[in-house]
Amino acid sequence: MDTRHILITGASSGIGKACADLLREGNRLSLGARRAERLPNLGAEGFRQELDVTDESSVESFLAASDAAQGPVDVLINNAGLARGTEQVANADGRAWREMIETNVLGVLNITRRVLPQMLDRGRGDIVMIGSVAGHEPYEGGSVYCASKHALRSITRAMRYEVLGSGVRVMSVDPGMVETEFSIVRFRGNEAAAGKVYDGTHPLSAQDVAECVQFAIDRPQHVNLDCIQIMPTDQASAKRVHRRDSRS
């Protein structure tokens, strides 16, 4: 088959869902998320199944079924991840820390270490990490989330060295403020608090980020876009955001 098999984690909402919507035409998709009922319906040509990247048995079950349905993975988009809470180190209970590290770091490793060997055997394949501006600059109230994204950035760079000469590409797309369910999750369902994150700004959309992913994987084979850092025009860094009285 000359179409690509693209596997997307965390595909039930936000950037993952936007990637699925944008890449479904002309490709074979496998979509996974903990909220399987919210995964896009791809019809007979797509595969979707519940996936918890922090659970190794869930990862193994998903990959076995995905491979049987769609064949080996050509493109892995490691999108599953989250921020939880804004506690500072001195007043945190640590439960959210474990969830973020297990999802954003160990979850990525759980699935990547099972997909990458087949790519190396075939001498081709793309690994795309959905990182964050938080992986470039930390900020108060986000110490462990930022640490998880710094870790992902280091893993991505190390893998780039490890696969050098194999034909496998490793890339990272690192967005700034994107208006998705990200802040709702961070504020534990408090939509009013989540909305204030974007007050007076024009943030990125999930579609904006998905288009960067598409651009990266559609480059000629000899081109590896190591890192795409994308932010709204209203944002210059993790801590520098321009806000107006109202959105325009």
Coil vs helix vs strand at 65: helix
Decide if 150 is inside a domain: yes
C-alpha closest to that of 74 among 18, 131, 7: 7
108-117, 175-184, 207-216, range with the lowest pLDDT: 175-184
- What is the C-alpha separation between 247 and 150, in angstroms, rounded? 31
**Domain of 207, in residue numbers:** 4-230
Of 139, 145, 161, 198, catalytic? 145
Is 187 inside a domain boundary?
A: yes
- The answer to whether residue 240 is domain-embedded is no
Catalytic-residue membership of 145:
yes
Please give the tally of structural domains in the chain: 1
Query: 239 lies in a domain?
Result: no
Question: Per residue in 98-117, pLDDT tens?
Answer: 999 999 999 999 999 999 99
* CA 110/CA 59 separation, integer angstroms: 7
CATH of the domain at 61: 3.40.50.720
Q: Is residue 143 part of a domain?
A: yes
Q: What is the pLDDT of residues 33-43, one digit of tens each?
A: 999 888 988 87
Look at residue 243 and tell me if it is in a domain.
no
- pLDDT greater at residue 85 or residue 56: 56
| 247 is a domain residue | no
Q: What is the reported pLDDT for 246?
A: 56
Q: Does any domain span residue 246?
A: no
